């Protein structure tokens, strides 16, 4: 397993108003409740920060994330919550979005467009999954 892969697996995928972060390989009770309440089956957790894991200045990352947000918000069926992907020691973080109603296929398209190596997604009743993006 590459270091990058292990970093993604250990990242804490935090969401505003959630007491606990989303963790790869686990179901998340707060998220499950929200999916049920909103009658949604799919979700994705995305960012536009640091394309291909290359560090950029925060202002450039925020501009990229705003562009991603605008694209996500163009589809009114999505519910978007702000999040932060954070290393367990708190030394690294990226502003992110939890998007209810976004399928893995839709997330792959955006992840490629914003040059993200990976993203997190899931379905109601199933554990969070890390999905790596292949670039041609």
Strand bridging mode 42-46 / 118-123: antiparallel
**What DSSP designation does 97 have?**
E
> For residue 1, is pLDDT > 60?
no
Helices in 2-135 by DSSP H: which ranges? 3-10, 29-38, 58-73, 104-113
pLDDT for res 67: 98
User: Could you tell me the pTM of the whole model?
Assistant: 0.94
CB of 94 closer than 8 Å to CB of 46: no
Query: Which tens digits make up the pLDDT trace of 74-109?
Result: 988 999 999 999 999 999 899 999 999 999 999 999
Query: Which tens digits make up the pLDDT trace of 33-58?
Result: 999 999 999 999 999 999 998 999 99
């Amino acid at each position: 397993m590459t270091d990058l892969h292990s970093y993604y697996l250990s990242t804490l995928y935090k969401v505003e108003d959630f007491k606990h972060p989303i963790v790869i390989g686990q179901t998340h009770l707060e998220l499950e409740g929200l999916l049920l309440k909103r009658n949604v089956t799919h979700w994705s957790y995305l960012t536009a920060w640091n394309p291909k894991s290359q560090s950029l200045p925060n202002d450039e990352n925020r501009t990229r994330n705003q562009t991603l947000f605008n694209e996500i918000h163009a589809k009114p069926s999505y519910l978007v919550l702000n999040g932060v992907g954070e290393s367990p020691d708190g030394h690294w973080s990226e502003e992110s979005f939890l998007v209810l109603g976004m399928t893995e296929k839709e997330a792959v398209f955006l992840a490629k467009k914003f040059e993200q190596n990976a993203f997190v997604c899931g379905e109601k009743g199933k554990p969070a999954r890390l999905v790596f993006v292949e670039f041609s």
